[in-house]
């Protein structure tokens, strides 16, 4: 064989590839389908012959630290370019890999093993986004795209169907029954503010995934009412939007309403119940706002209020269902252990207690147990009841216990900042690395960042129905970012006048007019 003939043979038989050919071919097919779609997909289904599935299942993907199909599919759907053929992942930088890993959490691929595939080497990828679909097929050879429709149609459902998150495993009939119920568990974990660590973290993750992929009818209706985008539900949404609505049913009327919402399969029943519960939540908001305002006025009338280490307030007409929320609201104004009380029955008053700064409020209440008819709780929150005649003595003894046991640092709200950032650091890739740490909650808090010496860019202004919030548009003179600071309208004039500020914030996404940007969720803001 002559040298030219040998070179020609090598060119025809040896094809450059990044990684093993089976998973890379799957990435290639996914990339082509994405390109035909013209957008990053929010749904991916991959049909594979058993040979491709077997050969790709546990193969390492270069520069990812991961094995197998899920990361190959995610990279193909995000950074892959089909023009590179089996070097489809040529552009997989560390930032791109981090983005793909976060993408896997949001858009796990459904992988179907097709035992009746028309070829030993068969890859068929279907992708979709907002109702638009596209597909691509590789058959016989790793880079051979089938351009005309194929006659074979894989079964819609088979025992081999499996959704893959990171480290995912095939489901079975028992899991298929139990997995949907994780939605309720995740909701409980979030609403009860329990640590999202260990097993709780795993259960919360899979519960969220269920709610984002196939929510119960009732939860879906609540998401629509709360304006939560499909596939975007987070722990924060459960804490601040879904949980309060469900709790409002029990606070304002009956918890049975929420139970009926969560167990029904009838969309019309669910829509009606969700609407009722939303109205209860609006009523609850009105009650807790009025209760908080009245409590603050009572504190203003107390000449010794500024010298106290605790807050105890009582009014007979306050609604029992909102006094716990009111206690939390008061701590935002007076950072100290707080108890809000109202009438219960037959001369008995009951209340809700909330801690501040990690102070053990249960022990403080326990020190007054002889004055109480009942109490219970834990270090951060508690409930209690007493005869109304015991209230003066209770206030005195509770205040004395707090004053003699609370540390000075527990009377000052503090924020733990993970890092100081320049605005140039806040990129989509950086944000997606943060999302990889989800779900956030107690024990795994959302990271806090700080940026100093920011000034008004164009449109910092007061927003909200009563003008209590601040919409930020700030710059470091090179880059700009927007944000929202709830309850911080008093800083508007300072910023609008061109004065610099230091901002402590979390990062979140904001979607408006189909455009998604990264924004600051401000936790504190101070003049520089």
How confident is the model over 149-186, as pLDDT tens digits? 554 545 444 434 444 443 344 444 445 667 788 999 99
The pLDDT value given to residue 2: 56
The per-residue pLDDT for range 338-347, each reduced to its tens digit, is 999 999 888 8
pLDDT tens, per residue, the chain with 528 residues = 555 554 454 344 434 444 478 899 999 999 999 999 999 999 999 999 988 888 887 677 877 877 778 889 999 999 999 999 988 998 888 888 888 888 887 887 888 888 888 888 999 999 999 889 999 999 988 999 987 555 454 544 443 444 444 334 444 444 566 778 899 999 998 887 778 888 888 889 889 988 998 899 999 999 999 998 888 888 889 988 998 899 888 877 778 888 888 888 899 999 999 999 988 888 888 888 899 999 999 999 999 999 999 999 999 999 888 898 899 999 989 999 999 999 988 889 999 999 998 899 999 999 999 999 999 988 888 999 999 999 999 999 999 999 999 999 899 888 889 999 999 999 998 998 898 888 888 888 899 999 999 999 999 999 988 888 999 999 999 999 999 999 899 999 999 999 999 999 999 988 777 788 899 999 999 999
CA distances from 424 to 62, 68, 91, 477 (A): 29, 34, 22, 11
- What whole-number distance in Å separates Cα of residue 274 and Cα of residue 236? 19
* CB crowding 272-310: b at 16 or more within 10 Å, else e: ebbebbbebbebbeebbeebbeebeeebeeeeeeeebbb
DSSP secondary structure, 296-330, as one string: HHHHHH-TTGGG-S-EEEE-TTS-GGGHHHHHHHH
Res 148: pLDDT: 57
Q: Which residue has the tokens 């795994």?
A: 444
Q: What span, in angstroms and rounded, lies between the C-alpha atoms of 72 and 19?
A: 10
Return the CATH number of 307-411, one of 3.10.310.30, 2.60.40.1120, 3.40.640.10, 3.40.190.290.
Answer: 3.10.310.30
Cα 334 → chain centroid:
29
Q: Quick one: pLDDT at residue 257?
A: 84
- Quote the tokens at residue 476: 């470091």
Task: State how far the Cα of 111 lies from the Cα of 131, in Å rounded to an integer.
Answer: 20
CB 224 within 8 A of CB 277: no
Q: What pLDDT, on a 0 to 100 scale, did the predictor assign at position 515?
A: 81
Q: How far apart are CA 29 and CA 109, in angstroms?
A: 13
pLDDT of residue 339: 97
The CA-atom distances, in angstroms, between 341 and each of 32, 249, 289, 401, 521 are 63, 21, 15, 19, 32
Instruction: Determine the Cα–Cα distance for residues 237 and 242; give it in Å rounded to an integer.
Output: 6
**Structure tokens given for 145:** 């795209």
Helix, strand or coil, per DSSP, at residue 383? strand
- Evaluate whether 307-411 and 419-527 have a shared fold: no
pLDDT of residue 4: 56
Q: In sequence order, what DSSP letters do the residues of 100-140 get, joined into one string?
A: HHHHHHHSPEEEEEETT-SSSSEEEEEEEETTEEEEEEEES
User: Looking at residue 128, what is its pLDDT?
Assistant: 93
pTM over 0.85: no
User: For residues 168 and 14, what is the distance between their CA atoms, to the nearest angstrom?
Assistant: 34
| Distance between start and end Cα atoms, the chain | 78
Q: Output the average pLDDT for the chain.
A: 86
* Domain map (residue ranges) of the chain: 15-167, 177-284, 307-411, 419-527
Secondary structure class of 422 (helix, strand, coil):
coil
The CATH code belonging to domain 419-527 is: 2.40.50.460
Instruction: Please say whether the beta carbons of 24 and 88 come within 8 A.
Output: yes
Q: Which CATH architecture has domain 177-284?
A: Alpha-Beta Complex (3.90)
Query: Which class in CATH covers the domain with range 15-167?
Result: alpha beta
């Amino acid at each position: 064989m002559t040298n030219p003939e040998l070179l020609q043979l090598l060119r025809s038989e040896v094809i450059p590839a990044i990684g093993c050919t089976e998973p890379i071919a799957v990435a290639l097919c996914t990339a082509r389908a994405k390109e035909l779609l013209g957008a990053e997909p929010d749904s991916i289904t991959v049909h594979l012959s058993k040979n491709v599935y077997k050969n790709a299942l546990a193969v390492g993907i270069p520069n990812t630290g991961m094995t197998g199909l899920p990361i190959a599919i995610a990279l193909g759907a995000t950074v892959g370019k089909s023009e590179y053929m089996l070097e489809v992942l040529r552009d997989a930088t560390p930032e791109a890999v981090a983005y793909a890993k976060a993408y896997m959490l949001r858009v796990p691929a459904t992988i179907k093993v097709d035992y009746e595939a028309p070829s030993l080497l068969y890859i068929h990828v279907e992708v979709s986004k907002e109702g638009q679909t596209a597909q691509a097929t590789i058959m016989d050879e790793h880079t051979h795209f089938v351009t005309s429709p194929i006659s074979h149609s894989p079964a819609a459902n088979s025992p081999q169907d499996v959704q893959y998150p990171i480290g995912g495993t095939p489901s079975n009939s028992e899991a298929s029954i139990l997995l949907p119920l994780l939605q309720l568990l995740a909701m409980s974990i979030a609403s009860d503010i329990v640590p999202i660590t260990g097993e709780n973290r795993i259960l919360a993750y899979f519960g969220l995934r269920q709610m984002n992929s196939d929510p119960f009818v009732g939860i879906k209706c609540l998401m629509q009412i709360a304006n939560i985008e499909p596939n975007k539900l987070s722990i924060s949404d459960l804490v601040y939007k879904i949980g309060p609505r469900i709790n409002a049913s029990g606070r304002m009327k009956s918890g049975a309403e929420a139970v009926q919402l969560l167990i029904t399969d009838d969309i019309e029943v669910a829509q009606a119940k969700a609407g009722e519960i939303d109205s209860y939540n609006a009523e609850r908001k009105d009650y807790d706002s009025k209760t908080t305002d009245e409590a603050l006025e009572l504190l203003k009338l107390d000449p010794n209020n500024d010298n106290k280490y605790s807050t105890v307030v009582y009014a007979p007409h306050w609604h029992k269902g909102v006094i716990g929320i009111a206690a939390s609201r008061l701590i935002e104004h007076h950072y100290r252990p707080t108890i809000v009380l109202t009438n219960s029955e037959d001369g008995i008053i009951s209340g809700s207690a909330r801690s501040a700064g990690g102070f053990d409020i249960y022990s403080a209440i326990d020190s007054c147990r002889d004055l109480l008819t009942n109490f219970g709780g834990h270090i951060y929150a508690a409930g209690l009841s007493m005869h109304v005649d015991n209230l003066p003595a209770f206030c005195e003894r509770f205040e004395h216990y707090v004053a003699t046991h609370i540390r000075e640092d527990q009377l000052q709200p503090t924020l733990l900042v993970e890092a100081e950032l320049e605005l140039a650091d806040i990129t989509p890739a950086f944000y997606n690395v943060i999302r990889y740490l989800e779900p956030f909650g107690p024990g795994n808090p959302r990271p806090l960042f700080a940026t100093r010496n920011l000034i008004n860019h164009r449109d910092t202004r007061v927003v909200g129905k009563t003008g209590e919030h601040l919409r930020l548009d700030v710059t470091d003179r090179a880059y700009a970012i927007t944000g929202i600071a709830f309850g911080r309208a008093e800083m508007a004039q300072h910023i609008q006048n061109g004065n610099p500020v230091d901002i402590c914030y979390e990062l979140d996404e904001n979607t408006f007019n189909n455009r998604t940007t990264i924004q600051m969720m401000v936790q504190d803001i101070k003049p520089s």
